[in-house]
């Protein structure tokens, strides 16, 4: 493995703004092009932000960097980075061993329809070539249904009622759970993540006009069938049921 450390010198009063900018604009561009974020740290004096990235090899680092520099989100964000930092520098780190346990990230998505049976779709800034189901990552300690309702409200302005799970999809390092649901309130609005938000009438014949990335198509087709599995969230010590979705498509 190959590691890169980036150090950004910053005025303490701008440290929080820099962290937010990195999380919202630069980190997504790096990650989607193949870089693995090990972590980001702020020094005790709040005058340096340190970021460490992992790459399979130096050649892959060069390939990924080339893709990042062509990325639309990166190009949009890069000129604005200078307003937060005094200077930046990079150095390379050589690992002395492997100490971390394998981890898997969990994300959730929702196939959400309105009273016209139109489907809620979004376009994000870093995947602007395709429409997709709204959703996102699950925070530590957060149940799946709460994470999805939060993400959809943040991304689209729509409040939802969930029914059950329509599919589970894994690539080995990420697991995505797709839920079926109904819009019950709110108003369409974009966010810092979404450049377009819309209810669209989807059917098998026009699906690929909107969903351009192959990995998303089966998730939508499965959800369009309207068949759900039950879902439960609970806590332990002591056991308490938090939420149960029976998987029955009954909006009453």
Catalytic-role residue among 62, 66, 72, 196: 196
Separation of alpha carbons 91 and 207, rounded Å: 46
Separation of alpha carbons 22 and 51, rounded Å: 10
Q: What is the CA radius of gyration of the chain?
A: 20
Separation of alpha carbons 224 and 111, rounded Å: 8
Residues whose CB is less than 8 angstroms from the CB of residue 172 and which lie 6 or more positions away in sequence, other chains included = none
Structure tokens at 202: 């989807």
* Catalytic residue check, 60: no
Residues taking part in catalysis: 196
């Amino acid at each position: 493995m190959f590691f890169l450390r980036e150090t950004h010198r910053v005025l303490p009063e701008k440290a929080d703004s820099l962290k937010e900018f990195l999380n919202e604009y630069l980190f997504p561009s790096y990650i989607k092009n193949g870089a693995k974020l090990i972590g980001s740290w702020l020094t005790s004096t709040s005058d340096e932000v340190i970021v460490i990235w992992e790459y399979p090899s130096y050649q892959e680092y060069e390939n990924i960097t080339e893709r990042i520099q062509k990325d639309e989100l990166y190009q949009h964000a890069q000129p604005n980075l200078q307003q937060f930092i005094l200077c930046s520098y990079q150095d390379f780190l050589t690992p002395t061993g492997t100490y971390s346990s394998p981890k898997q990230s969990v994300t959730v998505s929702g196939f959400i329809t309105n009273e016209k049976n139109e489907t809620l779709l979004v376009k994000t800034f870093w995947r602007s070539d395709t429409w997709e189901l709204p959703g996102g990552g699950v925070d530590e300690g957060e149940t799946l249904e709460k994470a999805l309702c939060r993400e959809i409200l943040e991304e689209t302005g729509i409040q939802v009622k969930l029914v059950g799970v329509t599919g589970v999809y894994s690539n080995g390092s990420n697991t995505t759970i797709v839920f079926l649901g109904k819009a019950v309130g709110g108003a369409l609005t974009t966010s810092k993540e979404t450049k377009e938000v819309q209810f669209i009438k989807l059917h098998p014949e026009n699906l690929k006009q909107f969903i351009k990335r192959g990995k998303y198509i089966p998730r939508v087709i499965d959800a369009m069938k309207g068949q759900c599995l039950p879902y439960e969230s609970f806590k332990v010590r002591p056991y308490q049921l938090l939420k149960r979705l029976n998987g029955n498509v009954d909006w009453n």
